[in-house]
Structure formats: structure tokens, C-alpha cells
């Protein structure tokens, strides 16, 4: 159904932007060694320019909104004003990340649309509805400590003032990064999409876990997406001389942080699908011979059950408050994200599963523990679905992230068949 060689070639080409091995990123015609392509970086800019030129070469319509989301559209259809069938993902990465997280979904979406366009031409047919591919800007949270910025903006969940508040480690705000990138974030409202803009939205992504690989299954049909609650906690204690301060006279910020890290793990373990992670700590002053006087730490909690997620969040906050009274430190909590878990559309789940069986592809219905742009598309699209493929050893956000491209080809054929059917509905 799809052109496998074209798909592989285009994926390998976009993978060179940000590749840590430079131009030598390919081994045995496969990207290796990982990449760093942070949002609004030069690597991101070059990858976007490559993608835009590639889209133009396939005679698709293209536009970029005021905050940097890219839209590629096929509108040579019977009723071009009907809500489109959409597909999408992102091309920014974490530092020292892999090639497949996000980018695979973008290139699979492009291949699906181009393949459908060619099938229609060969058969002298036309679809009823348009097709549209979305490349969301700044999906990863690595730079600004907030994930899915582009999809949050189009769904009306972020304001201009919030873009000015979110800053990276260099103090550059999302707003300023966008301005420096040649975008117009002051016109953010023009990027917001209306409800029912799309008939459906599907996102193809690597699983970022080990379930599919261990089951020996090529495709996962996602049933729901876990949401994160994130905050940055600052513990203000007292820096003292490490030799001259007796243990019973200390107010050690790092000791307090260690209790909170363990509490986060223990509280999350009380729920079946919840997870909690302290992803970073900054110890101040960070000297060997000084009792730590301050710790800044990032807390990430997730669950597919909204009630349990909120309970986990409250339990940890209560613990921090009680610990501060016991240990004698003060603290500040800076809210970073508070998203809502999303259940995906049952009819689209069933359609994807049926189409997989029709294509003789083994499929498994499963939840997503990681967040994705798809979680912000409910309402904007009548139906939202996701397709997973296995990643080797479940590794993601890592230079060793890898896949069997045969799984990607199967999933992209499933995506193509499903989009084509939906576009005629």
C-alpha cells in the first residue's frame, strides 16, 4: 500500500538534523547514535525547512501558524470544506534522544497521505474529505519543563502570558524563543482551532515501553493516555559547614529531598497504573564540604485514572508540608503542568483493531503511560486514536532508542488504510 523505500529514505533524511554523529549518523542504511533536536534550535529549524520543502515536492498545501505548528493538507477531494481526517506528531527531541520518538509519526503521516494521493490518481478516484498532517511544535518538555506546547496552544490551553512565564535554563521564555524563531506568538489566538475542525485525528508513535516487544506484537491500538501533573519544588533549608555542624543541628535540604523522592515512589506504588518520578535535583551550593542549604527538584506524576492521579498529587503535597514542619525547612511549589487523562474514541479503537486484522497484522489494545499531542485533540477532532509500534527493549528518550522498521511499515499501512476509509465517510 505504501512506498516502503520512499518512507525509509525520507525518514533517514530528516534524521540527519541534530544527529550526534553528524553526517555519519547512518550505519547499514539505518540511523544510529541518537540526536539532539530541541525545540526552536538550529537543528529544529533545519529539520522543519527540510520537511516543508519535502511536503511542497509532493504538491500538498502547507501553512505554518503563528506559534510554529506546521500543517500539510491534501484537499483535491469531492467536498474540501468538510472536516478533514488528520494525523500528526512532532519532530523536536529530548537532549541525547532517539530518532523515532515523534518524528516517526510525522513521516508515517506524510507517507500515508502521499500514498493515498497516488492510489487515487492511479484509480482515477477522489476522496470525500481532505487529509491533513500536523507537525506540533515543542512537544518535549526538556527545554521549557512543559510538554505538548503546540497542541496545548491550538486547543486553547495556553495564553501569551503563560508563554512568557515558561523559561529554559538560560532564562529564555517560550515567547521569546518563538519570536527569535521568526514566529508571532503575540497572535496566539489565531492558532486556536475550533471544535470539530477535524473528523478524526490519529497519531502513530513508538510505545516507549516493553509491552509490545515482549508480546511479539507489531501494533498497539491505544485505548487511553495517561496525563502528567508536574511541579518544581524548591526546598529552602540552611547551608552550614559540613565538619563543624553536629548532625542534630542541621537543616539539610538534600536529606529532605531524599525523603520526598522515596515518598513519591511509595505513594505512586499504591495505585495500579500511577507512576511518579523526580527527574532532576539541583543542590545548592553543591560543595563537598557544605551542608546543602537549598534543593530544586522536578516532580512528574502520571496516571490514566484522573481520580487516582489527583489523590497521588495531594498525598505527596501533604507529605511535603508535614515534612517541612518536622525538619524545619520552608518550601515553594511552582506549577508546571496539570493535564487530564484522556480516553480515546471506542469506535476508532475498534476500527483500527479491525483494519489491523484485515491486514493480517497482530494488534493489542493498550493504554499509553506517556503523554502525547493526541491528548489535546479531543473536541478539535470528533474521534481521536493512536497507533503504537514496539521499540527495542522499551528504550526511549535515549540514544539507544531503536525499532524494527518492518513494524513501522505495518503500522503505516494500517494508518493509510484507516485514513482512506475515514476520508470517504
CATH of domain 227-338: 3.30.70.360
pLDDT, residue 353, reads 98
Cα(41)–Cα(183) distance, rounded to whole angstroms?
A: 13
For 239, the grid coordinates are 547551608
Predicted structure pTM score: 0.85
Binding-site residues for allantoate sit at 230, 289, 302
pLDDT, residue 397, reads 94
Helix, strand or coil for residue 223?
strand
Q: Which of 393, 388, 392, 395 is nearest to 411 (CA)?
A: 388
pLDDT, residue 340, reads 86
**Domain-wise residue ranges, the chain:** 4-226+341-423, 227-338
Per-residue pLDDT of the chain (425 residues; tens, 9 = 90+): 999 999 999 999 999 999 999 889 999 999 999 999 999 999 999 999 999 999 999 999 999 999 999 999 999 999 999 999 999 999 999 999 999 999 999 999 999 999 999 999 999 999 999 999 999 999 999 999 899 999 999 999 999 999 999 999 999 999 999 999 999 999 999 999 999 999 999 999 999 999 999 999 999 999 999 988 999 999 999 999 999 999 999 999 999 999 999 999 999 999 998 999 999 999 999 999 999 999 999 999 999 899 999 999 999 999 999 999 999 999 999 998 888 899 999 999 999 999 999 999 999 999 998 889 999 999 999 999 999 999 999 999 999 999 999 999 999 999 999 999 999 98
With a CB cutoff of 8 Å and minimum separation 6, the contacts of 123 are none
Over 285-307, what HEC string results?
CCCCCEECCEEEEEEEEEECCHH
Binding-site residues for Zn(2+) sit at 90, 101, 140, 205, 397
- CA torsion 12-10-65-180 (nearest 10°) is 40
CB atoms near residue 2 (< 10 Å): 21
Run of H or E including 235: strand 227-236
Binding-site residues sit at 90, 101, 140, 205, 230, 289, 302, 397
Assigned CATH class of 4-226+341-423: alpha beta
Hunting for cell 538550529 — which residue is that?
42
Cα(117)–Cα(277) distance, rounded to whole angstroms?
A: 44
Cα(136)–Cα(393) distance, rounded to whole angstroms?
A: 27
pLDDT, residue 367, reads 92
pLDDT, residue 334, reads 96
Pairing of strands 219-225, 363-368: parallel
Run of H or E including 265: helix 253-268
How would you class 52 by CB atoms within 10 Å of its CB: exposed for 0-12, middle for 13-18, buried for 19 or more?
A: middle
Q: Which of 406, 404, 385 is nearest to 88 (CA)?
A: 385
Q: Which of 44, 20, 136 is nearest to 401 (CA)?
A: 20
Amino acid at each position: 500500500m505504501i512506498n516502503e523505500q520512499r518512507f525509509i529514505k525520507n525518514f533517514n533524511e530528516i534524521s540527519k538534523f541534530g544527529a550526534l554523529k553528524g553526517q555519519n549518523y547512518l550505519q547499514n542504511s539505518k540511523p544510529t547514535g541518537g540526536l539532539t533536536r530541541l525545540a526552536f534550535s538550529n537543528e529544529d529549524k533545519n529539520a522543519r525547512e527540510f520537511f516543508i520543502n519535502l511536503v511542497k515536492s509532493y504538491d500538498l498545501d502547507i501553512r505554518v501558524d503563528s506559534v510554529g505548528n506546521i500543517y500539510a493538507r491534501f484537499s483535491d477531494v469531492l467536498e474540501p470544506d468538510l472536516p478533514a481526517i488528520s494525523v500528526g506528531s512532532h519532530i523536536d527531541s529530548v537532549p541525547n534522544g532517539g530518532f523515532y520518538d515523534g518524528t516517526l509519526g510525522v513521516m508515517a503521516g506524510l507517507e500515508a497521505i502521499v500514498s493515498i494521493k497516488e492510489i487515487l490518481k492511479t484509480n482515477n478516484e477522489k476522496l470525500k474529505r481532505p487529509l491533513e498532517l500536523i507537525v506540533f511544535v515543542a512537544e518535549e518538555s526538556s527545554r521549557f519543563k512543559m510538554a505538548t506546547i503546540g497542541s496545548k496552544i491550538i486547543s486553547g490551553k495556553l495564553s501569551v502570558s503563560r508563554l512568557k512565564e515558561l523559561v529554559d535554563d538560560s532564562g529564555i521564555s517560550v515567547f521569546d524563543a518563538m519570536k527569535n524563531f521568526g514566529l508571532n506568538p503575540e497572535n496566539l489566538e489565531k492558532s486556536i482551532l475550533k471544535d470539530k475542525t477535524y473528523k478524526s485525528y490519529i497519531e502513530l508513535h513508538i510505545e516507549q515501553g516493553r509491552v509490545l516487544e515482549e508480546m511479539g506484537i507489531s501494533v498497539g491500538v491505544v485505548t487511553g493516555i495517561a496525563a502528567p501533573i508536574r511541579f518544581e519544588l524548591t526546598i529552602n533549608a540552611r547551608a552550614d559547614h559540613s565538619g563543624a555542624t553536629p548532625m542534630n543541628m542541621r537543616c539539610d535540604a538534600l536529606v529532605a529531598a531524599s525523603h520526598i523522592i522515596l515518598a513519591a515512589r511509595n505513594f505512586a506504588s499504591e495505585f495500579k497504573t500511577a507512576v511518579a518520578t523526580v527527574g532532576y535535583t539541583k543542590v545548592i551550593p553543591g560543595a563537598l564540604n557544605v551542608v546543602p542549604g537549598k534543593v530544586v527538584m522536578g516532580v512528574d506524576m502520571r496516571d490514566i485514572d484522573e481520580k487516582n492521579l489527583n489523590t497521588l498529587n495531594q498525598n505527596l503535597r501533604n507529605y511535603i508540608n508535614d515534612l517541612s514542619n518536622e525538619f524545619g525547612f520552608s518550601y515553594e511549589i511552582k506549577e508546571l503542568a496539570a493535564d487530564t487523562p484522556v480516553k480515546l474514541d471506542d469506535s476508532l479503537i475498534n476500527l483500527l483493531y479491525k483494519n489491523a486484522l484485515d491486514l493480517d497484522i497482530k494488534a493489542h489494545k493498550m493504554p499509553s503511560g506517556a503523554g502525547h499531542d493526541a491528548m489535546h485533540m479531543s473536541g478539535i477532532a470528533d474521534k481521536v486514536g493512536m497507533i503504537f509500534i514496539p521499540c527495542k527493549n522499551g528504550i526511549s528518550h535515549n540514544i539507544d532508542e531503536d525499532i524494527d522498521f518492518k513494524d513501522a511499515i505495518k503500522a503505516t499501512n494500517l494508518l493509510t488504510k484507516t485514513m482512506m476509509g475515514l476520508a470517504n465517510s
